[in-house]
């Protein structure tokens, strides 16, 4: 069993939700490692959803991976955790370029644009409203909700939103060599283009998302509002910290909301995730997937700083732990999945 936070106990009817989105910020070369090439990041959330749902890919040309050694997507962690714990899941499309060929709720959101453009996220309030409706619809059928995301370049948009809201942020990366300086430069160019200064949008969080965010952010915020009163875990690292900050500045009740991520994010010395969490006064827990004990070379790359988190992996592990499934059992299941997908992973 994992340690408990906020007096968490074994839920009776939990639901895992994953919000999927794209931002053309990911097209900036060397910014995101959430895909074999910048253009292939269009397929990353699509492939993640198909992999979690079916155990393989349908629309995506390759399984979402990070160089080197074809380090597998954290979607494998999520799939194994949900399969072994028997937790149902729901995908939410908030601005995908390529919808997955699996069931999903569609918010009708447009994909995110490069944050250096005039508008990064169109109709922020419309996305919140559509997601709130989804949250209200599923609220009474479950007693705990874990919300993850798959959004390439989301740590850069997170940096932009956190900066605009007044939080000093060195965000994590899916690469072992975190391109923090490149991210800072992109965010500065974006803020200059929109006439925004650091901390200048503390009182206007909607504009912070519209100018510097991605469409996943308002979708998660809307879901949390629709789930009012229920236990909610935001499964992710600095991206979910940015969502938490956005909701805090929106005046959302966060008394029942926590952030859960992997130890790879919490221990990332190139980022200041823990300091951001402290500034937000958020409830946070980090879980160790123990991939250093893995027989799979790609999974061991997580220990060296590759990938770290995504697709709600940390939260899925935590939820499985509450339901009595150990981290070691999940790791062994992931290794089996990697063997089954060996031809696709090594393609």
Q: Tell me whether residue 89 is in a domain.
A: yes
In a domain, 8, yes or no: no
Between 259 and 304, name the one with better pLDDT: 259
Residue 6 lies in a domain: no
Determine which of 98-107, 174-183, 269-278 has the lowest per-residue pLDDT on average: 174-183
Establish if 134 belongs to a structural domain. Answer: yes
Residue 9 lies in a domain: no
In a domain, 3, yes or no: no
pLDDT mean over 44-63 = 90
Percent of the chain with pLDDT over 90: 73
Domain that holds residue 326: 14-345
| Whether residue 346 has pLDDT greater than 60 | no
Query: What is the domain-level CATH number for residue 337?
Result: 3.40.50.10210
pLDDT value of position 1: 36
Question: According to the model, what pLDDT value does residue 135 have?
Answer: 98
- The pTM score is 0.93
The count of domains in the chain is 1
For residue 124, give the DSSP letter: H
Residue 1: inside a domain: no
Segment 144-160 shows an average pLDDT of 96
Q: Which of 69-73, 150-154, 316-320 has the lowest mean pLDDT?
A: 69-73
Region 174-199: mean pLDDT is 86
Mean of the per-residue pLDDT values for the chain?
90
Give 285-304 pLDDT, tens digit per residue. 999 999 988 888 888 888 88
> Average pLDDT, stretch 175-200?
88
Domain annotation covers residue 177: yes
């Amino acid at each position: 069993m994992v340690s408990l936070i906020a007096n968490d106990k074994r839920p009776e009817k939990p639901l895992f939700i994953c919000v999927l989105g794209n931002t053309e910020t990911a097209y900036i070369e060397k910014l995101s490692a959430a895909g074999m090439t910048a253009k292939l990041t269009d397929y990353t959330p699509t492939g993640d959803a198909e992999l979690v749902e079916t155990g393989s890919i349908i629309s995506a040309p390759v399984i979402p991976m990070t160089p080197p050694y074809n380090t597998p997507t954290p979607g494998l962690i999520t799939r194994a955790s949900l399969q072994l714990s028997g937790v149902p899941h729901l995908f939410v499309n908030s601005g995908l370029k390529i919808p997955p060929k699996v069931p999903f709720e569609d918010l009708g959101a447009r994909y995110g644009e490069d944050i250096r453009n005039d508008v990064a996220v169109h109709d922020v309030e419309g996305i919140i409203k559509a997601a709130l409706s989804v949250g209200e619809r599923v609220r009474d059928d479950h007693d705990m909700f874990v919300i993850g995301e798959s959004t390439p370049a989301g740590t850069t948009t997170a940096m932009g939103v956190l900066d605009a809201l007044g939080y000093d942020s060195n965000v994590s990366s899916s690469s072992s060599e975190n391109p923090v300086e490149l991210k800072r430069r992109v965010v500065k160019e974006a803020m200059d283009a929109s006439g925004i200064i650091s901390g200048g949008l503390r009182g206007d969080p909607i504009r912070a998302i519209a100018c510097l965010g991605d469409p996943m952010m308002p979708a998660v915020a809307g879901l949390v509002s629709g789930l009012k009163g229920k236990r909610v875990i935001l499964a992710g690292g600095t991206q979910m910290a940015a969502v938490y900050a956005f909701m805090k500045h929106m005046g959302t009740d966060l008394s029942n909301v926590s952030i859960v991520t992997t130890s790879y994010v919490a221990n990332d010395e190139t980022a200041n995730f823990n300091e951001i969490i402290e500034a937000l006064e958020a409830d946070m827990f980090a879980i160790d997937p123990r991939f250093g004990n893995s027989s799979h070379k790609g999974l061991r790359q997580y220990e060296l700083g590759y990938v770290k988190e995504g697709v709600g992996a940390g939260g899925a592990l935590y939820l499985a732990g509450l339901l009595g499934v150990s981290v070691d059992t999940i790791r062994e299941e992931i290794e089996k999945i990697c063997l089954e997908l060996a031809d696709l992973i090594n393609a």
